[in-house]
C-alpha cells in the first residue's frame, strides 16, 4: 500500500513534468509566434500553473512539507517552500506580461526569460521533491505513507475548490 501511495505521487509528478515541458516548448517557439498566438498559449500556461501547479503546491505546504520538516529537518522544508514562493512570483510576472501582450499588441522582450526561469525552477523543484519523497519513504512505515498520501489528496482537493472560486476574480481570460 505504501508503495502504491508513493507511486501515485510520482505519477502526479509525471503530469506536472508534462505540463511544464509544454511551457518549455511554447518558449522555444516564441520567436516565430504572433502576439495573438502568444496570448492564447500564455492563457493555457496560466491555466495549468493556477489550476494544477498552485493547488498542488498549497497541499504540499500544508501536508507534505510539514512531514519533511518533521522527519528530514526544518531547513529542507523551508527551502522547498521558498522555491514555491519563487515560482509564485514568476507566475505573477507572467500574468503581468500576459496583460501587456493585450495592451501593447506586441510580445514583451522579457517574456522569454521569465518563461525560461519558470521552466528551470519547476523542473529542478520536481526533481528535488522526488528525491525527498524517496528519502521520506525510506524513513516512514507503509501506513504512515498511506496516511500522508490521503491527507495530500484531501488538501489538494480543497485547494482546487478554493482556486475555482478565486479564478473568477482574476479575469485573465476575459480580455479577448
Alpha carbon 96 to chain centroid, angstroms: 18
Q: Which is nearer to Fe ion, 29 or 70 (CB)?
A: 70
Residues present in the chain in total:
176
Closer to Fe ion by CB, 60 or 156: give it: 60
**Quick one: how far is CA 49 from the chain centroid?**
5
Nearer to Fe ion, 41 or 60 (CB): 60
Cell (9 digits) for 61: 505546504
Smallest separation (angstroms) from Fe ion to the CB of 128: 8
C-alpha cell at 82: 521558498
Nearer to Fe ion, 30 or 86 (CB): 86
Distance CA 76, CA 33 (A): 40
Q: Contact, 136 vs 59, CB < 8 A? A: no
Q: How many residues of this chain bind Fe ion (CB under 5 A)? A: 2
The nearest distance, CB 60 to Fe ion, in angstroms, is 5
Binding to Fe ion (CB under 5 A) within 55-74 occurs at 57, 60
Considering only 1-9, 50-58, 100-108, 156-164, which stretch makes contact with Fe ion by CB under 5 A?
50-58
Residue 52 binding Fe ion, by CB under 5 A: no
Q: What is the largest CA-CA distance in the chain?
A: 56
Residues that bind Fe ion (CB under 5 A): 57, 60
Amino acid at each position: 500500500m505504501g508503495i502504491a501511495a508513493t507511486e501515485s505521487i510520482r505519477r502526479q509528478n509525471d503530469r506536472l513534468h508534462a505540463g511544464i515541458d509544454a511551457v518549455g516548448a511554447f518558449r522555444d517557439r516564441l520567436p516565430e509566434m504572433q502576439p495573438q498566438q502568444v496570448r492564447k498559449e500564455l492563457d493555457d500556461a496560466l491555466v495549468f500553473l493556477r489550476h494544477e501547479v498552485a493547488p498542488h503546491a498549497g497541499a504540499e505546504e500544508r501536508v507534505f512539507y510539514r512531514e519533511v520538516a518533521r522527519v528530514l529537518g526544518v531547513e529542507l522544508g523551508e527551502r522547498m517552500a521558498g522555491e514555491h514562493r519563487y515560482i509564485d512570483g514568476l507566475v505573477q510576472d507572467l500574468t503581468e506580461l500576459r496583460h501587456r501582450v493585450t495592451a501593447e499588441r506586441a510580445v514583451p522582450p522579457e517574456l522569454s526569460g521569465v518563461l525560461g526561469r519558470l521552466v528551470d525552477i519547476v523542473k529542478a523543484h520536481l526533481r528535488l521533491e522526488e528525491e525527498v519523497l524517496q528519502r521520506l519513504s525510506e524513513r516512514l512505515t507503509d501506513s504512515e505513507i498511506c496516511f500522508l498520501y490521503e491527507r495530500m489528496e484531501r488538501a489538494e482537493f480543497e485547494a482546487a475548490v478554493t482556486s475555482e472560486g478565486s479564478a473568477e476574480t482574476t479575469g485573465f481570460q476575459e480580455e479577448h
